[in-house]
Amino acid sequence: MKKIETGMLEHQKLILEKVSHNKELFRKELVKSLMWLKSYEIFRLHVWLKQKFYLTHGDIIEDVFGFIAA
């Protein structure tokens, strides 16, 4: 079961990389990712996003993750 969950996290990372050129799609796919992933995977995704996309999509990352933290 854990392989499937890790696989989903990796899948969502690939999707986010593919749509990173479009801010609207990036936000949409990021929100969808939060519906698919377990809480510990969401934490790992957040760390990965901040490392990889914070300079270009920091506003979206903060907005989406700020919403789920509230």
pLDDT of residue 26: 98
Please tell me the pTM assigned to this model. Answer: 0.85
Whether the predicted pLDDT of 1 surpasses 50: no
Whether the predicted pLDDT of 3 surpasses 90: no
Host domain of residue 58: 2-69
- Domains of the chain: total: 1
Q: What angle do CA 60, 48, 56 make, to 5 degrees?
A: 40
- 3-class DSSP state for residue 68? helix
How many CB atoms neighbour CB 67 within 10 A? 10
pLDDT tens by residue, 7-56: 999 999 999 999 999 999 999 999 999 999 999 999 999 999 999 999 99
